Amino acid sequence: MDSSMEIFFRLLFLVPLHPWNILAAGEIYNCDDQLVSALSQSSFSSSSELSSSHSPGFARLNRRDGAGGWTPLASNKYQWLQIDLGERTEITAVATQGGYGSSNWVTSYLLMFSDSGRNWKQYRQEESIWAFSGNTNADSVVYYKLEHSIKARFLRFVPLDWNQNGRIGMRIEVYGCAYRSDVADFDGRSFLLYRFKPKSTTALKDVISLKFKTSQRDGILLHREGQNGDHITLVLANGKLSLFINIGDAKMYSADAQINITLGSLLDDQHWHSVLIEHFNNQVNFTVDKHTHHFHAKGEFNYLDLDYELSFGGIPMPGKSGILPWKNFHGCFENIYYNGVNIIDLAKRYKPQINIMGNISFSCSEPPIIPVTFLNPNSYLALPGTAGLDEISVSFHFRTWNNEGLLLSNKLYQTSGGLLMYLSDGKVKLSFYKPGKAQSDITAGAGLHNGQWHSIYLSTKKNRVTLMVDNEAMSTSHMLVPMHIFSGDTYYFGGCPINVNNSECKNPYSSFLGCMKQISIDGKPIDLISVQQNSMGHFSDLQIDLCGIIDRCLPNYCEHGGECSQSWNSFYCNCANTGYSGATCHYSIYEQSCEAYKHRGNISAFYYIDSDGSGPLGPFLVYCNMTDTTWTIIQHNNTELTRVKTANRENPHSVFFKYAASLEQLQATINHAEQCEQEVAYHCKKSRLSNKQNGIPFSWWIGKINETQTYWGGSTPDVQKCACGIEGSCIDSQHDCNCDADRNEWTNDTGLLSYKDHLPVTELVITDTGRPNSEAAYKLGPLLCQGDREFWNAASFNTEASYLHFPTFHGELSADMSFFFKTTASSGVFLENLGIRDFIRIELHSPLEVTFSFDVGNGPNEITVQSPISLNDNQWHYVKAERNIKEASLQVDQLPQRTYSAPSDGHIRLQLNSQLFVGGTASRQKGFLGCIRFLQLNGRAIDLEERAKVTPGVKPGCPGHCSSYGNLCHNGGKCKEKYNGFSCDCTFSAYAGPFCKKEISAYFGAGSSVTYNFQESYNVAKNSSSHAASFHPDMTLTREAITLNFRTTRIPSLLLYVNSFYKEYLSIILAKNGSLQIRYKLDSHRDPDIFSINFKSMADGQLHRVKIKREEEKLFVEVNQHERMKFFLSSDIQFNTIKSLFLGKILGRE
């Protein structure tokens, strides 16, 4: 079967089989009934009411009963309006109004839901707590379609903000439909067994779906196994779901055969979580609460060979499964379906296929546990205790991601001391303090900031103290304190009130951010609902009756293998050893090509390149050869000449070439390059390449597209020859390859493969070395790629109304944009992309400012980088902007990067739908005048030139690179413009290389010399067209510039001597004392001018640099770039008709 068709059918079989979602032909799924309008008054409740006419029962949409809506007694953040729908219902939308004809309305609110009216859960969207925008007046209706529906009985509206000139006021409607719910409650000692009929037990296709909720962190959800080691097990471990699956006839539970996939987090929160397992052949989809992991299971067979029973909640015979020590599930299941069969419905009707072991009930009990959330540093909970007891007993549970924070503070009775319990480095520490006495400390537990529930038990009696963590003896500490301990009257949990003095509540540490539950003082459980109703204790900035902890590392937004860690309010990415940087490890720290390294001024060397930038492909090591053109050299594992014998069609010799990069990385590099090539050499003696008789080749090679190729180096795919066949130089004109002559002597076919779509060579197959005296040898060179066609891809924008447009930029969670620009204009938009509400824009705001603006739904934001120099100087400037769910950043050239931190909860997805405009905007205002080059979006280059060819007012390319890159040409090298870039002309420099930085030097032995004759004679000079001929007899020099580097230990030494046809000369020597001497004789009738540089002995074996410049009678000398001197010539100032230049020694001196 065709692979694409096979995948299609596999996906078809993976559709979940939920009978209640199967609709008749033409039927439309309708779940938008009004759910509130028909409810009785008793179905409404609230935190408080302003009066009986403002009671919650009057909160129906578009009704004017009572005072026209619900208004609480006080307008603050602790108020709520609650609806009881009578049973679990599917909720798809909500709508709100303000109080009728009043100034009372809510401008934003949270939505919470619950099955029992306790242990609430906040509605989340985009992985964040979702704040709904409310009303702007009393009577307009604001309707919201929920991104994902809610299944719950109770719904609670929690106002966040309201009209500041009025009060909180709400009228609401909820939309949805009935929801089928079959539930079963397991007590931790029971399980349910579903038996199949004893027929064929092989399962090519399986679909299992269910929901569960529990307050226990561990337990088995389902299990099925067979006789040959096949099994599937779903386990809750530490609040996460692990799917163990083994396919094939392998040793049971061996490490090689078993797959363990873990999804989800904090699943022990007593809220419903959905699970879907879809298996077809050896493909598996595992989904937990919208997060899906797709994988291929291992094994020799493409089906699961399983027994005819499936257990839920436990394992029937634990001994049979050997290493499965997990305990049974304690909690509730809902809507268990196996291949369309409703398992709980069968159990409720006591069908014979179901075997119930232990105590299972068909309603879901709710544990009477009330959690409390400490939201911010101002949060605290103050609870009363009995003062003066010589015994203290406090216990509670907590969960947090923070490794520090105050847990408990208590001022002891009739002393000025107290006790402090706090988290430090993930451990619980307990301190007793009293002025004048040494502080007493004990520590228990470790790693307690892992998000799991942990129990704390503190007991004191007189001066004995016990601290226990998680009811474990290993985490229990004891100590004796040097004072008698008597309990205080108030226990502060999580923090201290702002207006309480330090002696009453002491907190030298950070406040606790997290959840607590099951608080007990002096053996008495605390009723937190009474606290919420202000019947006992007091508090601030708490959420009572819910635990608001979330796992910010699920999903993991750290890219490219970055490690995610988190605190209560944020997550962090460790990008070490990934090759990427930024808040989410998004941006590559390496250049994308050798061409980019070259234009940073780098020399030839090994470099890591990241060919797709911030894309999924990682960096890899290449050698960059920086010549006039840049070459990227990628090695493979077999570059030596290798001999081959005894190969034939039945026993071919196949060699595979493994490169320093993956094929995907290589393809990206090849696509970027202007051209690529790879030399292949085939040496042969009676070993042929092609076969004209039957067309079946004797040897062939395979490239990146995994297709067989039979053309060889120097030829092209459509010709199918060797290089000699193209050139007409084969040793036998009847053949197109030298080796096909089949001679009993060595010859070769060598050449370059240069068709990019076929490179690199990944495999070579040889089959014709099995005959007598037949032998071959092959050698494959490295992959060579030249240039970077994207680095210089540019467009020139000639009018303010001109722009280029491209498809919508998709960078919902991570978006990076980079480009070069040059302009003389004072402002203009570089790029813009719009959504319904979201947008991104980068613009030159002024000659000194670049601005990055964006909105992802939390309101517009703007980042500006100010430059100390003008950016409209017609030189290339670099801009890089990035936006991810943690932060946004903007960098211009090498200026410091500016960043903006995103809110911890809010919209995170950048949703754009318009075209991407480059060089202008959709409104055709504020257009950019100038050039944009090398535009990249999320690591992918945009082809500006191709689009510019067909766009009025825009031209492809952009001349004038030397103004920006000319400074890379050193030592007198001249920058020369090219269409795609520039080059350095080193003709008039004593240096070579791409940037005129490579010294041209020589070693001079004793008596050695180099002579350069400017003119051999007057006649030669007269007729010469060479550079030296520019020195003609009539020419008179009044100035020279000489630079030389030398290193020697011999003295005296001649360094340089220049003479003329008129017996004039210039010499540079080292004297007997090692000092430098410069002699000018410009008048044959007078003695030379001698200038001694008594700097120090320069015959010390060190490298010295001498720079001499003469302007008429003035002579300037610079030694080693820091000693500068000035002299004056006393003789003539004219150097007439230069003849020769000598280095090292003068030969044939007259």
For residue 320, the SS3 value is helix
3-state helix, strand, coil in the chain (%, to 5): 10, 40, 50
How many whole angstroms separate alpha carbon 807 and alpha carbon 819? 18
Instruction: State mean pLDDT over 1110-1114.
Output: 87
Whether 1017 has a pLDDT exceeding 50, the answer reads no
Residue 549 burial (CB count, 10 A): 20
Least confident of 245-249, 364-368, 484-488, 1015-1019: 1015-1019
Tell me, what CATH number does 991's domain have? 2.10.25.10
The total domain count for the chain is 8
Residues 352 and 419 in one domain: no
Greater model confidence, 174 or 501: 174
Whether 1074 has a pLDDT exceeding 90, the answer reads no
- pLDDT of 585-607, one tens digit each? 999 999 999 999 998 889 999 99
- Indicate left, alpha or beta for 1077 from its phi (over 0: left) and psi (-120 to 50: alpha): beta
Q: Is residue 558 part of a domain?
A: no
Tell me, what CATH number does 191's domain have? 2.60.120.200
Q: Can you give the pLDDT at residue 298?
A: 61
Residues 149 and 200 in one domain: no
Q: Is residue 1024 part of a domain?
A: no
Whether 645 has a pLDDT exceeding 50, the answer reads yes
Instruction: State mean pLDDT over 725-745.
Output: 94
Q: Can you give the pLDDT at residue 23?
A: 44
Q: Is residue 769 part of a domain?
A: yes
Q: Is residue 617 part of a domain?
A: yes
Least confident of 66-75, 425-434, 1117-1126: 1117-1126
Q: Can you give the pLDDT at residue 598?
A: 92
Q: Which domain holds residue 607?
A: 577-631
Q: Is residue 98 part of a domain?
A: yes
Whether 829 has a pLDDT exceeding 60, the answer reads yes
Q: How far, rounded to the nearest angstrom, does the alpha carbon of residue 700 sit from its chain's CA centroid?
A: 41
How many whole angstroms separate alpha carbon 711 and alpha carbon 754? 11
Q: What are phi and psi of 388, to 5 degrees?
A: 90, 5
How many whole angstroms separate alpha carbon 880 and alpha carbon 898? 11
User: How high is the mean pLDDT of the chain?
Assistant: 88
Least confident of 156-170, 788-802, 979-993: 979-993
Q: Can you give the pLDDT at residue 977?
A: 83
Whether 203 has a pLDDT exceeding 60, the answer reads no
Whether 453 has a pLDDT exceeding 50, the answer reads yes
Q: 200 is written with which tokens?
A: 């064929």
Q: Can you give the pLDDT at residue 304?
A: 56
- Reported confidence tier of residue 8, pLDDT bands at 50, 70, 90: very low
Residues 807 and 951 in one domain: yes
- pLDDT of 835-844, one tens digit each? 999 999 999 9
Whether 743 has a pLDDT exceeding 70, the answer reads yes
- Reported confidence tier of residue 434, pLDDT bands at 50, 70, 90: confident
699-733: b (≥16 Cβ within 10 Å) or e: bbbbbbeeeebbbbbbbeeeebbbbbbbeeebeee
Q: Can you give the pLDDT at residue 189?
A: 93
Whether 1016 has a pLDDT exceeding 60, the answer reads no
Torsion 40-44-49-54 (CA) sign = negative
Residues 204 and 342 in one domain: yes
Q: Can you give the pLDDT at residue 1139?
A: 83
- pLDDT of 358-410, one tens digit each? 999 999 998 889 999 999 999 999 999 999 888 999 999 999 999 999 999 99
Q: Check if the beta carbon of residue 870 is closer than 8 Å to that of residue 850.
A: no
Residues 627 and 641 in one domain: no
Domain boundary among 482, 500, 518: 500
Instruction: State mean pLDDT over 906-916.
Output: 92
Greater model confidence, 33 or 1043: 33
Torsion 550-554-559-563 (CA) sign = positive
Residues 205 and 353 in one domain: yes
Residue 654 burial (CB count, 10 A): 11
Q: Can you give the pLDDT at residue 196?
A: 76
Q: Can you give the pLDDT at residue 830?
A: 97
For residue 519, the SS3 value is strand
Q: Can you give the pLDDT at residue 5?
A: 30
Greater model confidence, 198 or 594: 594
Q: Is residue 537 part of a domain?
A: no
Residues 279 and 382 in one domain: no
Whether 187 has a pLDDT exceeding 70, the answer reads yes
Residues 437 and 481 in one domain: yes
- pLDDT of 768-817, one tens digit each? 999 999 999 999 999 999 999 999 999 999 988 899 999 999 999 999 99
Q: Can you give the pLDDT at residue 990?
A: 76
Q: Can you give the pLDDT at residue 1026?
A: 40
Q: Can you give the pLDDT at residue 1030?
A: 45
Sequence-distant (6+) residues with CB within 8 A of 712 are 680, 682, 689, 721, 722, 723, 737, 749, 751, 753
Q: Can you give the pLDDT at residue 1024?
A: 42
Residues 640 and 727 in one domain: yes
Sequence-distant (6+) residues with CB within 8 A of 1136 are 1035, 1036, 1037, 1060, 1061, 1062, 1064
Least confident of 669-678, 709-718, 978-987: 978-987
Least confident of 102-111, 511-520, 624-633: 624-633
Alpha helices (runs of H) in 280-396, residue ranges in sequence order = 343-348
- Reported confidence tier of residue 669, pLDDT bands at 50, 70, 90: very high
- Reported confidence tier of residue 257, pLDDT bands at 50, 70, 90: low
Which percentage of the chain shows pLDDT scores above 70?
Answer: 92
809-838: b (≥16 Cβ within 10 Å) or e: bebebbbbbbbbbbbeeebbbbbbbbbeeb
Whether 559 has a pLDDT exceeding 90, the answer reads yes
Whether 986 has a pLDDT exceeding 90, the answer reads no
Instruction: State mean pLDDT over 226-253.
Output: 77
Residues 244 and 345 in one domain: yes
Q: Is residue 705 part of a domain?
A: yes
Q: Is residue 511 part of a domain?
A: no
Greater model confidence, 965 or 28: 965
- Reported confidence tier of residue 1143, pLDDT bands at 50, 70, 90: confident
Q: Can you give the pLDDT at residue 201?
A: 44
Q: Can you give the pLDDT at residue 532?
A: 92
Which percentage of the chain shows pLDDT scores above 90?
Answer: 64
Whether 232 has a pLDDT exceeding 90, the answer reads no
Residues 809 and 949 in one domain: yes
- Reported confidence tier of residue 297, pLDDT bands at 50, 70, 90: low
Domain boundary among 500, 520, 554: 500
Sequence-distant (6+) residues with CB within 8 A of 216 are 188, 236, 268, 329, 330, 331
How many whole angstroms separate alpha carbon 540 and alpha carbon 531? 11
Domain boundary among 746, 766, 786: 786
- Reported confidence tier of residue 504, pLDDT bands at 50, 70, 90: confident
Residues 854 and 928 in one domain: yes
Q: Can you give the pLDDT at residue 394?
A: 96
Q: Can you give the pLDDT at residue 1029?
A: 40
Cα separations (Å) of 574 from 40, 397, 551, 581, 1137? Answer: 54, 30, 17, 9, 70
How many whole angstroms separate alpha carbon 16 and alpha carbon 31? 20
How many whole angstroms separate alpha carbon 998 and alpha carbon 207? 68
